[in-house]
Amino acid sequence: MRIKIDPLDKLFSQYMRLLADGCCEYCGKDVGYDRLQVSHFIGRRKRSVRFDPDNCCAVCFSCHNYFHQFPYYHSKFWEKRLGSDKLEELIRRGN
């Protein structure tokens, strides 16, 4: 079942993509603002962290697919990005 995208989701996506300045936060490619996607570490169903910038990053289509195909590397990226303590805190807030 798909999660409904509301206006706040769109606004938050714009914010995260603007922060990335058109560059994928994983591979570093400049793909442009409009081609970035927002990836969540903890899925959008968890409302407590749905709009938390610590839970999201802007990535290109290829890297977003890579994260879904290889969850181990997705987790490693987030651990490096946030640090293990901050990641554990994010997981606690998500639960």
In percent, the amount of the chain with pLDDT more than 70 equals 99
Distance CA 31, CA 67 (A): 17
* pLDDT for the residue 1: 60
Residues 4-18: tens digit of each pLDDT? 888 999 999 999 999
First to last CA, the chain: 20
Distance CA 89, CA 86 (A): 5
When pLDDT is cut at 50, 70 and 90, the band that residue 3 belongs to is: confident
Residues 46-53, mean pLDDT to the nearest whole number: 95
Distance CA 54, CA 72 (A): 18
Residues 18-34: tens digit of each pLDDT? 999 999 999 999 999 99
